Structure 1
Amino acid sequence: MLPPVTLALLAVNVTVFILLQNTNWYRFGSIPSYLLNDPSMFLITAFTSMFLHANIVHIAFNMLALVALGRVIEDAIGSMRYIIVYILSGLSGVALHTIYSLTTNNGFNTPMVGASGAISGIIGLAAAMGDRFAYIWLAVQFIFAIAGLSSIAYFAHIGGFIFGFMMGRLYHDRMYRDSTYLT
């Protein structure tokens, strides 16, 4: 059985994907130019974009990663910390992608969608907990981001990972400090 937040996130993402088929759902994607032209819409879409997916392959890969990581990480850090890291990692991913887009004019008016930034935060958390494969995953994101080989928002992945890693270090340090006895 999946932990409750992972199960809820899976259900929300799949439900949104099904319900928004054959609609103009992309208007709820995070568009970097909104930050300058319509800041309130930027804030709304920074959140809603985390629950939208471009196609069946996109949602399938993201939900597979969510389930694989969520069942381990949520149990390790608790549901409340997990959802906080998930949401704030997604927003951090939007922020870094927006900074990249505004400074390079690459994707300035293109909607960004997907749970990848949030899931990348969970990968960053796993790295902070000792998962060495997570660092390889991050290196690949940097390589693809620099190479610019696709329309994937790699800087959203990197931003999510960095936030998740920082929170993982904070949680790890706090748990270690709380478990040691001072004499």
Structure 2
Amino acid sequence: MALERYFYRYGKATFSLFLINLAVYTVESILSGNPIRISPNVLLLFGQWNYAVLHYGWWWQLFTAMFVHVSILHIAFNMYFLIVMGSQLEHVIGPKRLTMVYLVSGLFGNILTLLFLPPNTVSAGASGALFGIAGTLIVMMGVIGGNMQAALINAFFLFIINSILPGVNAYAHMGGLLVGIAIGYYYGKRIRRRMALAYGYGYY
């Protein structure tokens, strides 16, 4: 019953993704023998090691990496933003679409990582997927409110603020955000069109 309350409060998809990330981190911690910081060997296996993707055919890492985190602080910050932003977006577009945004954004961010970072790069984290959620939410609200310029400026500053620190995978952030902007624009237009039809005002 306690879990059902959280599914209702935060949304089925958001809270399910939250639990999946926690479960993966628990496995990482057990294999690493350390719940605070994950060992490099575990990250090579479950994160995205570009060399393994390109030369060993480990393409599945493009998906698993978006559920893998490198430390307790890493997952704590990411899961906080998942709960905050994911629940807001899910209440607007629904659980299936929220899951789609997470997966497609995370995948595109990881593909950019593969294309633009060196083969010895090892990356992990839900940040690309979360930037997709944030981009979708920001731009969708901008389209509905008729202020796309402000929405794009907000998305740009979100990217800059969260991508200038050393060790941060800016390509994953950028890929996720670009996908989120595109999805947010699409759903924002749909919602605004429905509002126009429902309330009988002109839509352009």
Which range, TM-score by smaller chain?
A: 0.7 to 0.9
1:155 to 167, 171, 180: 171
* Bigger Cα displacement from structure 2, 132-141 vs 9-18: 132-141
1:21 partner SS: helix
Equivalent residues of 1:93, 1:158 under 8 A apart: yes
Unmatched tracts of structure 1, length 5 or more = none
Q: TM-score, normalised by structure 1?
A: 0.84
Unmatched tracts of structure 2, length 5 or more = 1-8, 32-40, 143-150
2:25 to 8, 14, 17: 17
Matches within 5 A, 1:53-92: 53-92=69-108
* Bigger Cα displacement from structure 2, 29-38 vs 85-94: 29-38
Does 2:135 match 1:127? no
Regions of 4+ moved over 3 Å: 130-135, 177-183
2:48 partner SS: coil
Aligned-partner Cα distance in 2 for 1:34–1:76: 38
Does 2:126 match 1:115? yes
Aligned-partner Cα distance in 2 for 1:28–1:85: 21
Structure-1 residue corresponding to 2:114 = 98
Q: CA deviation at 1:177?
A: 3.3
2:189 to 166, 170, 173: 173
2:133 partner SS: helix
* Bigger Cα displacement from structure 2, 168-177 vs 44-53: 168-177
Larger gyration radius, structure 1 or structure 2: 2
1:20 partner SS: helix
Supply the AA of the counterpart residue of 1:129: M
Equivalent residues of 1:126, 1:134 under 8 A apart: no
Equivalent residues of 1:3, 1:75 under 8 A apart: yes
Q: TM-score, normalised by structure 2?
A: 0.76
Q: Percent identity?
A: 32
Higher RCO (CA-CA < 8 Å; seq separation 6+):
1
2:109 partner SS: helix
Does 2:55 match 1:37? yes
Q: CA deviation at 1:99?
A: 1.6
